[in-house]
Amino acid sequence: MTTERFHITRVEFVSVHVRGAHDWVFVEVTERDGYTGLAELAGPGAATEIAQLTADFAERLRLSPPSGESDIPARLGLAAAELEGDRVKATAVSALRSAIADAQARRARVSLTEFLGGQKMDAVKLYGNINRSMLPDDDGSRDRSPEAFARAAREAISLGFEAVKCAPFDEARAPFEEPGLPEAARAGIDRIAAVREAIGDDVPLFVDCHSRFDLDSGIALEVALRESNVTWYEEAVDGIKHPDVMRRIRERATMDVAGAESGYGIAMFRRIIEGGIMDVVMPDIKFCGGAGEAVEIGRVLETFAPGSVSMHSPSGPVSQLASAHVSAAFKGTRPLEHAWGEVEWRASALEPAERIESGRIYIPDGPGLGARIDQSAVEKRGRRWTL
């Protein structure tokens, strides 16, 4: 057993403007033999506060080199309980763990899937989240009518996605004046009905509620969603902040209850599944502790609760590809999320280009992630900097 450590020599940040207020932000970590690993940062302050903390943590790791990606929280003196409650620190730690896992895999000349203990797969199944395609672009607002939702869903299905997700409840926000199903949920329910009509009876339809409801309205809404044969009921409430409310909604629900996209660490996700709070947890490698932690979460939970893990990934192409490696490594049975239709040129942000076809993401050959940021995409739409 060697005790070779990971020596960081350079950290760089890259951003690429997507549309509206949205940029993708990436970090590249290079070690002393020149292997560079890549990861994605997200959340408010990704390019400022979170990038700065990532650089600060990297500097501490440069002075006290970790034995590998999983050693990073301990090396920084950060316990899981602290990271569970601090999204900024969790994001910085997750990015460093994912980037260093990529660099370690490149150095070992194996794919990230294999580095994380799995067996290489050509492709991973996706579901199409139409949400990003319907957010405001650089020219302003978008059509949010039921017809527009139906069009987007129909197009996603025609491209080969076997399931679609939408987030239709723009008008609703708890608390509500009336008991039961709030009037403010009506427009969202109409959008869902239009999507169901457009995609036919049998395509799995996922609905994300972005924590806009509460116990009473969340229970009433689930009943209303049965009308449109919704199969996945995501985040009626924030199930991390309000686990008891989420559990009570789940107890009444006939469809899968999903959530916990901002969770950190295997202990938290295990508590959620063992506690009967949700049917499906959605770790995001950008916050959950990184690619290595996500594989651990997937392996452990899928062993005692098959189908309980689906990676959250309304993300840019780097996090998408890393999440595909993660899903392959823990052999997830649920499809992986894909933010379909956000921008036309998305595939070209990576070299080799991102390949999403027939509802699958193809994992490129080559060590680590198998892809890098395309330099001309940065020149055209972004910038590169150090801190």
Q: How far is the CB of 21 from Mg ion (least distance, A)?
A: 18
**DSSP assigned state of 145:** S
- Is the Cβ of residue 166 or residue 363 nearer to Mg ion in the bound state? 166
Q: How far is the CB of 212 from Mg ion (least distance, A)?
A: 11
Q: How far is the CB of 241 from Mg ion (least distance, A)?
A: 14
At 379 the three-state DSSP class reads helix
**DSSP assigned state of 139:** T
- Is the Cβ of residue 314 or residue 370 nearer to Mg ion in the bound state? 314
- Is the Cβ of residue 210 or residue 355 nearer to Mg ion in the bound state? 210
Tokens representing 382 are 């972004």
Q: Phi first, then psi: what are they for 130, rounded to 5°?
A: -85, 0
From the centroid of its chain, how far is CA 260? Answer: 11
Q: How far is the CB of 20 from Mg ion (least distance, A)?
A: 18
- Is the Cβ of residue 113 or residue 217 nearer to Mg ion in the bound state? 217
Q: How far is the CB of 190 from Mg ion (least distance, A)?
A: 21
Report the relative pairing of strands 232-234 and 205-208 from DSSP bridges.
parallel
From the centroid of its chain, how far is CA 372? Answer: 19
- Is the Cβ of residue 332 or residue 382 nearer to Mg ion in the bound state? 332
User: Contact, 188 vs 171, CB < 8 A?
Assistant: yes
How many Å apart are CA 175 and CA 265, to the nearest integer? 30
- In this chain, which residue has its C-beta nearest to Mg ion? 208
**102 closest CA partner among 323, 339, 349:** 323
Tokens representing 112 are 């990230």
CB atoms under 10 Å from CB of 308, counted, come to 23
- Is the Cβ of residue 208 or residue 279 nearer to Mg ion in the bound state? 208
Find tokens 């797969």 and name the residue: 121
DSSP string, 255-293: SEEEE-TT--HHHHHHHHHHTTS-SEE---TTTSS-HHH
Q: How far is the CB of 187 from Mg ion (least distance, A)?
A: 19
**317 closest CA partner among 297, 334, 339:** 339
- Positions that interact with Mg ion (CB under 5 A): 208, 261
- Is the Cβ of residue 261 or residue 354 nearer to Mg ion in the bound state? 261
Q: Phi first, then psi: what are they for 154, rounded to 5°?
A: -65, -40
Q: How far is the CB of 337 from Mg ion (least distance, A)?
A: 8
Q: How far is the CB of 24 from Mg ion (least distance, A)?
A: 18
How many Å apart are CA 97 and CA 348, to the nearest integer? 25
- Is the Cβ of residue 31 or residue 261 nearer to Mg ion in the bound state? 261
